[in-house]
Structure 1
Amino acid sequence: MTPSDKPAQTPLEKGSLMVLLLAVTVALIWILLPFFGAILWSVVIALLFAPLQRRLRHKTRLGATPAALLTLLLVLLIGILPVVLITTALIDEVAGLYLRLQSGELNPLPYLRGLFDALPSSVVSLLQKIGLGDLRDLQVQLSSALAKTSQFLASQVYSWGQNTFGFATSVAITLYLSFFLIRDGQQIVAQISRAMPLAAAHKAELYEKFATVIRATVKGNLLVAAIQGLLGGLAFWFFDVRGALLWGVLMAFLSILPAVGASLVWAPVALYFLFTGAVWQGLALSAYGVLVIGMIDNLLRPILVGKDTRLPDYVIMITTLGGMAVFGLNGFVIGPVIAAMGFAVWHLFTQARTPQD
């Protein structure tokens, strides 16, 4: 039977098929939700490294499966392994910080007194007006905050230890899915494309936009985060700030937020240096933060993210923040992707409504 010989579907059959399709799709999404993060990052890994797999096949004449396995090994060496090592070192540093807080070896109260005594009288008057001028009250509040911080750090270290198996399982699922997406990604994309009721040119444009935004967002943000975290951690180590690794990782994490991220860490430390009489350290850290750490964000992010996505900087920033507010850490990928796809769909819609000459 040729396609033209197929019997026409009745409206009831078409409606039933659509209801069934919707129900099955919702059920599939529901059962896959627990693995949302693993699926997302397997797609990201496939989009980033599938071109490498194709080049390996072309240059080494390897089959699809060996080339995909070799590509996955490279992902482990340059992506997963460094993250695991840094996370392990970070857990040790957080545990050490908790022990120093508990034993009293690390006591921020004298630093607070020195900072308070170094403040100009106008600032002290302003603090008194808003109820923060009493050093004893501040010490009580800080002691309470330190106690809560100690409890939080202890619970986090315990939680990390408890979740090691879950994290390892998630990584294993991600790598497992990545292998098949790297190896069979082109066939999977072709099948999805055939199922989409859109013109071929529109499908190609949407897929190109989706792939480009994910590659640019992940490569750009992760590269900027890694560089800013490394530079910030080295600066803190040079100025003998305790917990340089912890602060460097925190700067890398916060640098996902465009423009202001890393400065939320180094700027208060620079101000502390200035107020406590360590003028050259404060000025040097401020200059380093603005001219080196800040310029990395201002120079690299527009080149690596904005140029390829063709989205304005303010759109990238607000969709990154919104994505992280809704989806957590994964939102720094999902937010800009949704924005870019939205722009692309509106562009296609506008083109379809515009009369052609």
Structure 2
Amino acid sequence: MRESLEKRSFLITLAFVSIAFVWVLIPFWGAIFWACVVAVIFYPVYQKLLSKLGDKPNRAALATLFIALIIVIIPSLAIAYTFIQEGVAFYQQLDSGNINAGKLFNDVQTAFPIVNTVLERFGIDASVVRQNISATAISGSKFLAEEAFTVGQNTFAFLLSLALMIYLTFFLLRDGHRLTNLLIQALPLGDEREHKLFSKFVEVARATVKGNLVVAFVQGALGGIIFQLLGIPGALLWGVIMAFLSLIPAVGASLVWLPVSVYLYATGSWIEATILVAYGAIIIGLADNVLRPILVGRDTKLPDYLVLFSTLGGLSIFGITGFVLGPLIAALFLVFWNIFIVEFNSDD
């Protein structure tokens, strides 16, 4: 009786201490999560360097971290900085009247009278739509400007999170295998199940991040190049926006180049519009349709529709981190149910 009471008391205390520990780490969960992701992606590089350096884990981890900084972290920071700067410049043009979003809608109305017919059929006032478009454009660009100001004010907090992420990544690379074994020993789920869950986490995180980042970079670069060649203002800004939107499977970059092509048709730039439509549907679309299944879907073993919904849901709940967390949660959901079906519902 006393032994049972002691065990229950210990388990309750263990749960309380664990919850308290997680609560303490909540302010740094973003840095911790991305440190885990970077470590998972570059762990094969660490293993190769470790074998070449003659079993020197500190040097191998440091070299791997340097490679991660050059390939992923620094370029990502540069893109984010450029995006904010271009967004601020776009807001300034809207605020000064150099760009009039309402006039853009008027041009589309004039070129495509069917727009007025459709709006009238649904009882929608065109002037209200025009005002909403102008207000949305201004508020969106203003949001970017405010975010840039916020980032400037919170530079110390951002740099602290970045430093913690880099610091933790080093130790996860060096001690990741040992930490994983400790977790497998500690968790009461069964070693075989835990190995399967950890393997799925590594597989999905690696495939999702690598795949989505490659697709985002390719689509953003392709979009920015064609916008620049066609003389469309803010080519760099729109290229970065297309890169971010490409995180959404199936639609992605078309949310930018398709409306722009419609506007080009409306303003009489038929050649440029046709080139943009063909380029967007064939070149940019091909990058998504070919690269994403190869880099993401095939490795994660997730259906395309599940990748789409889990990515959208993850982005809406967790922000930019959700493009990894969404598919990861979906993959773990499938693994858990697969284990349940196989082990608990199989016929004896």
Q: What TM-score results when the alignment is normalised by the length of structure 1?
A: 0.90
Summarize deviations over 1:65-104 as a string: whole Å, max 9, x none: 1111111111111111112222333333223223322333
The answer to which of 196-205 and 282-291 deviates more is 196-205
- Please give the residue correspondences for 1:281-320 in structure 2 after superposition, counting only pairs within 5 Å: 281-320=272-311
> 240, 263, 270: which is aligned to 2:261?
270
Distance 1:114 1:238 in 2: 23
Distance 1:142 1:306, change over 3 A: closer
1:154 Cα shift? Answer: 3.3
SS at 2:238 equivalent: helix
1:200 Cα shift? Answer: 2.8
- Please give the residue correspondences for 1:4-43 in structure 2 after superposition, counting only pairs within 5 Å: 10-43=3-36
Equivalent residue number for residue 343 of structure 1 = 334
Report runs of 4+ in structure 1 exceeding 6 Å deviation: none
Summarize deviations over 1:264-315 as a string: whole Å, max 9, x none: 1111001111222211211111111111111111111111111111111111
1:207 Cα shift? Answer: 1.5
Distance 2:132 2:335 in 1: 51
Equivalent residue number for residue 125 of structure 1 = 117
The alignment's C-alpha RMSD in Å is 2.2
SS at 2:268 equivalent: coil
The reply to whether residue 93 of structure 1 matches residue 66 of structure 2 is no
> 187, 191, 196: which is aligned to 1:196?
187
**Greater gyration radius:** 1
Distance 1:133 1:61, change over 3 A: same
Structure 1 contact 124–133 (Cα < 8 Å) conserved: no
Distance 1:54 1:134 in 2: 61
1:129 Cα shift? Answer: 4.2
Distance 1:62 1:175 in 2: 22
SS at 1:10 equivalent: helix
Equivalent residue number for residue 170 of structure 2 = 179
Distance 1:153 1:184, change over 3 A: closer
Q: What TM-score results when the alignment is normalised by the length of structure 2?
A: 0.92
1:22 Cα shift? Answer: 1.1
Amino acid at match of 1:126: V
The answer to which of 238-247 and 92-101 deviates more is 92-101
Give the number of aligned pairs: 348
Summarize deviations over 1:122-176 as a string: whole Å, max 9, x none: 33233234455655x6655555555545643432331222232222111111001
Structure 2 contact 87–141 (Cα < 8 Å) conserved: no
Equivalent residue number for residue 96 of structure 2 = 103
Equivalent residue number for residue 114 of structure 1 = 107
Any unmatched runs of 5+ in structure 2? none
Distance 2:129 2:312 in 1: 32
